[in-house]
Every structure is written in structure tokens, then in C-alpha cells.
Chain A
């Protein structure tokens, strides 16, 4: 219980820290809106000549675009940058001495960042976009709840991916390249640029079961009621499994990498 209290205290600290720098936020929100506008008009042409595409109506596609770009707005953030900065500036030494482990430490940052994102990025973007572009609402109340479950699971898994990317900084001069690669890959493989159904069948099927689908494609399909109950639980279970895999992978990598730090510091 004490641990949890500490954890939430750290979450609150990160949240407040983020709150102090809200000026750049407007530009972040605008950038996300630009992407929504681009994809909205791209898909508009599609639906001028047909009513359905891969099982999506125009209204559903609009919802897909809005939600996918909003969820994808998280990809360029994450703790990999913070982790990398600690490594380059040598602060990692201090951070390692803290009474909480580096994973707990950074997870609290990630949770703080996620809460901030929900309140100050996702909420305004969703409000403005749905107001101007319309789009269908959720298929039902339970869809909204399961949508959130899926999103939270995906952020948890994203955290471990970010940790692995961050550890890459032990081997490189700057963290930008690795960060950009992460953003681009997540963008593409999660179905945030194009719904997975539009990929060539074989590729689409593989992407569907890879961990990345859980970040955009799965939650939105749940939101729109495109999955049966069976499918919904299958994909949620899959997300849990991938989260566990990434957890093991990240901790495994960390065990290897941290030895390097000790050697350098000795």
C-alpha cells in the first residue's frame, strides 16, 4: 500500500510538471488536427464513389480517422526520450540510486503523461473533431468501457516497448533516430495510417495479431462494434499476452544492458 502511495505521488508530480509547460500544447493539438483533416478529405473522395469500404461506412471511417490519429498522437512521446536523456546526461546514475526501481520510476512518468494526454490532448482534439466532422458514436456503453480497457492495456505495453527503445540509447550517440523509427513503425503497424483491412490480406492478418494492432486498430474496432464478443475477448487476451511478452523482453534487455553501466561507472 505504501508502494502504491509513492507511485501515485510520482504520477502526480509528472502531471504537474507537464502542466507547467502547456504553451506548446496548442501546437501539438493543431498538428493532430491537421492529420485528421488530411485523412478525412482523403477518405472523402473514396466515399464519393461508394458507400462501403472494407465494411466501413463514411461515418464509421470518420470515427476511425479521428480516434486513430488521436491515439497515434501518443507515439511520438513516451518515456524512451526521458530515459535517453538520463543516459546522455549521466543522470541515470542518480536515478538508479533512488529507492524505487527504474521501471517503477519511469512507469509513473508514463502514467502521468497518459493522464495529461487524455485530459489536455485527446479530449480537446476529440471534441473539436467530432463537432466539425461528425462520425458515428460508440456502438454501446460496454463498447466504450472495453475500448478504454484496450487503450490502457496498449499504453502499458507501449511502455515496455519505449523502455527497450530507450535502452538502445546506451549504444547510440543521439536518441532521435531510434525515437523516429519507433514512431514510424507504430504508426504504420498499428493501423493508424490505414485500417488494417486495407492492407494486402496476408499482411493484414499478420498485423492483426502483432502487438501493434492493440494500440489503434483493436480499440477502435471495439468502439465501433465491429468485433463479436468472442473476437473482442480474443483480442484483449492477445493484448495481455503481448504485454507480458514485452514485460519479459524489457526486463531481460535491462538485465543485460545495466551490466554495461556498472562497468562504465566502475
Chain B
């Protein structure tokens, strides 16, 4: 119990530090927020324009596309806010030996790693995504039931877990491969598929996005469930997919940390 309390205090301290960084350099924080919004906006405006011209996209109407895009945006925004450090594994922690510092401290390494850097600016993206979701929700006429709201909360929690687990998995490849970060970045590009109705892509891509790199579960499948476009039992499948991904990431991370032997400097 005392240990748990200690960890909670530690996490609080990390968050406080993160918040100070956020407020210390206002210009930088604003620019970050704008850059994140701008990046999301390019993809969004593109798909919106196509959906508007055609009145839909692969059987999904304009509002359905809004919901899909918002659902895909939410886990990434939360990940960027609180778990963006996984992207530093290769550079700062492995090649520059940053793990040496974390390893001698009395707290789980992963927890420390995640506490090192926050991008709270991404909460602006998160809020925007929620607004888009609400907009699409109202116009698509989805019922405001307890079940649906619980499902969205589930998507936020397990979607973020799944998303960050994938990033952790591929960034952990840096323990063995020089090209680890490049592979992780390519996976990040592949994530773009999650923002469009998956069924418009060929079988091979659908399969990859469902079973290999399960990004389909952060945008497409949940949105399809909310819109009543799928028979899959998503409230059960989503947590299962997230936990399996997290387990895989956890295993590879543990192996990596075990085999890590500093940079020698």
C-alpha cells in the first residue's frame, strides 16, 4: 500500500513538472498546439472535402466520417499528452544511455520513462476531437444511452492503451536494431489507414490493420459499432485487443530492458 502511495505521489510530481514546462514557455506551447492541430487538420480537411463532394465515403456519410476521424484522433492526442516519451527510447535512452539514470532509481523504469516528458498542448487536439465527435454524434443521430457513453469511455481508455502499446512495441525494437526508430515512424505513417473507413482498402491492408498492427480498433471498428454498422461485439473485443497488444509490448519491453547494457560511456 505504501508503495502504491509512493508511486501515486511520484506520478503527481511528474505531472506537476510537466505542467510547469507547459506554462514556462508560452510561445512554444502555443506553437506546439497549433502544429498538432495543423497536422490533424490537413488529413481531416482532405477527407471532409472528398466526403462533401461525394456525399459520403464508401457508404459512410459525412457525419460518420467525422466520428471516425475523431475516434482515431482521441487516443493519439492523449498519448502525445502523457506518454510521448516512448518516442525517445531509441535516441535519448538507448543510444545516449539515458536508461542508466532511470535504472538506478527506485521506481519502475517504464513509469519513470513516461514521466520524463509531457506534451500537454495535445489536450487542445483532444478537446477538438471531442468537439468533432459531439458534432458528428448529434447529426448522425446516435442515441445518447448509458451504453454508448460507457463505450466511448472504453474507447478512450483502451484505445489509448492500444495505441501507445503499439508505439512502445516498435520503439523497443531499438534495443536490437539501429533502424528501430525508422520502423516506428513507418508504423506511425501506417496509422493513417485508421482514419479512413477500412473497408475501402484491399483485404491485405484490412487484415494488417486488424491483426498485425491493430490500429483498426482505435478508429474504424469503434466508429462502426457506434453507427450500428457492425455485428462485432466491440465492447468486449476492444479491451481484448488492447490487452493483447499491451502484453506483447510489455514482453518485448521487458526483454529489451533485461538485455540492455549501457553505452559504455
Residue ranges of A at the interface with B (Cβ–Cβ < 8 Å): 23-24, 27, 30-31, 34-35, 37-38, 41-46, 49, 53, 171-174, 176-181, 183-185, 187-188, 193-194, 198-199
Contacts and interface: CB of A to CB of B under 8 A. Distances in A.
A30 B189 CA distance: 9
Contact of A35 (B27, B35, B192): B192
B50 A42 contact: yes
Given A34-B192, A44-B200, A184 B38 contact: yes
A180 B122 CA distance: 14
B50 A27 contact: no
B189 A34 contact: yes
A35 B28 CA distance: 29
Given A31-B186, A177-B28, A184 B42 contact: yes
Interface of B: 25, 27-28, 31-32, 34-36, 38-39, 41-43, 45-47, 49-50, 53-54, 57-58, 178-179, 182-183, 185-186, 189-190, 192-193, 196, 200-202, 205
Given A34-B192, A193-B43, A193-B46, A177 B185 contact: no
5 contacts: A23-B178, A31-B189, A43-B50, A181-B34, A193-B42
Contacts of A177: 28, 31-32, 34-35
B37 to A, nearest CB: 9
A24 B179 contact: yes
A171 B25 CA distance: 11
Nearest to A26: B182
Among B27, B189, B205, chain A packs the most CB atoms within 10 A around the CB of: B189
Nearest to A188: B42
6 nearest CB pairs, A to B:
A184-B38, A193-B46, A180-B35, A177-B31, A27-B182, A177-B35
Contacts of B34: 177, 181
Contacts of B39: 180, 183-184
A41 B200 CA distance: 7
Nearest to B40: A184
Contacts of A187: 42
Contacts of B182: 23-24, 27
Given A172-B31, A198-B53, A30 B186 contact: yes
A224 to B, nearest CB: 19
Contacts of B43: 193
B82 to A, nearest CB: 18
Among A23, A174, A181, chain B packs the most CB atoms within 10 A around the CB of: A181
B196 A199 contact: no
Nearest to A34: B189
Contacts of A174: 28
B47 A42 contact: yes
B57 A188 contact: no
B38 A41 contact: no
Among A27, A37, A171, A172, chain B packs the most CB atoms within 10 A around the CB of: A27
Among A35, A44, A176, A177, chain B packs the most CB atoms within 10 A around the CB of: A177
B122 to A, nearest CB: 12
Given A188-B46, A194-B49, 7 more contacts: A34-B186, A38-B196, A41-B202, A42-B50, A173-B28, A177-B31, A184-B39
